[in-house]
Amino acid sequence: MTPSSPAPRPQLRYEQVKKYITDHITRGEWDVGERLPSESELVETLGVSRMTVHRALRELMTEGLVTRAQGVGTFVAELMPRAPLLELRDIADDIISAGHTHTQRLVTLEAVRADVDLAMAFDQRPGAKLFHSVIVHMEDNIPLQVEERYVSPHFAPDYLEQDFTSLHPHRLLTHIARPDEMEHVIFAVTPEEKIQQLLELDEPATACLQLVRRTWVQGKTVMKGIFTYPGNRYSLGGRYQVDSLKNH
């Protein structure tokens, strides 16, 4: 007797909302730049909660399929090519290996309560406790990266007790445990005023690269990082052996 195949995993509600939206876009029913139905309209049409719709839209925005304008609505995005970024080294190592001097300045180290977006990123309830840090990394005293991290207290309970004027969070977190899974998404952005000041940008409209990274250990989200680089001072890329990926 041939053993039966395992039953497929049932599709979650937010995945159903994502499929509903992507199906309309791929069929051409919603064109690039067209406004999607509001969250309230999607809630009524699909019979799901507002939280479910919000998560679906947030994930579609992260995937680059839609864009959102506060107080205006959600729109079909123009698809942009995305190259895989397989590995990112510690920026301190990059600066030092290039023969330059790395320094860092601690801006923020605190405990915060997760808003809706952070709660979804960590699969927690809104209001869950997270650790938050902001550090500016400099090459020869010129700001090269603003590193903002949210870290699970369960993963790094002593995070707030560290001296991040010298210790880099990347080294601390990978010392605790290397991630089992990572997600990288890169955007071209005009940063908010606070980031402009930290990067000491001469022109407020200077385009920056912003990397959003999430890491998982044993199936649990342990860190969400937002890394912002001046586009005229830094580039992101990777080099790898093609043969090592052909079976992946």
**DSSP secondary structure code for residue 35 in this structure:** B
pLDDT band (50, 70, 90) for residue 65? confident
Domain 91-235, CATH among 3.50.50.60, 3.40.50.10490, 3.40.50.300, 3.40.1410.10: 3.40.1410.10
Calculate the average pLDDT of the chain.
Answer: 84
pLDDT at 62: 72
C-alpha distances in Å from residue 190, one per residue of 72, 75, 209, 229, 230: 19, 19, 9, 11, 10
Which residues face 210 on adjacent strands?
Answer: 187, 228
The domains spanning 13-76 and 91-235 adopt the same CATH topology: no
CA distance 136 to 242: 34
Contact 75, 60 (CB under 8 A): no
Residue 133 makes CB contacts below 8 A (sequence gap 6+) with 106, 108, 109, 110, 147, 148, 149, 151, 159, 164, 169
Per-residue pLDDT, 27 = 86
The answer to whether the pTM exceeds 0.75 is no
Q: Give every CB contact of residue 41 below 8 A, 6+ residues apart in sequence.
A: none
Instruction: Please answer whether residues 115 and 130 qualify as being in contact, where contact means their C-beta atoms are separated by less than 8 angstroms.
Output: no
Q: How confident is the model at residue 12 (pLDDT cuts 50, 70, 90)?
A: confident
Q: Are strands 73-76 and 102-113 parallel, antiparallel or unpaired?
A: unpaired
pLDDT score at 4:
52
Q: pLDDT tens across 78-105, in order?
A: 765 444 454 556 788 878 877 889 999 9
Least confident span in 74-78, 122-126, 172-176:
74-78
CATH architecture of 13-76: Orthogonal Bundle (1.10)
User: CA 176 from chain center: how many Å?
Assistant: 21
| Domain spans of the chain, in order of start | 13-76, 91-235
Q: What is the pLDDT of residues 188-209, one digit of tens each?
A: 888 889 999 999 988 767 788 8
* Count of residues in the chain: 248
Residue 166: what pLDDT?
87
Asked if 68 contacts 29 with a C-beta cutoff of 8 angstroms, the reply is no
Give the C-alpha separation, 198 to 175, whole Å.
28
Written in H, E and C, the secondary structure of 84-150 is: CCCCCCCHHHHHHHCCCCEEEEEEEEEEEECCHHHHHHCCCCCCCEEEEEEEEEEECCEEEEEEEEE
More confident residue, 237 or 205: 205
Percent of the chain exceeding pLDDT 90 equals: 45
Structure tokens at 141: 């005293």
Q: Are the CB atoms for 130 and 160 separated by under 8 Å? A: no
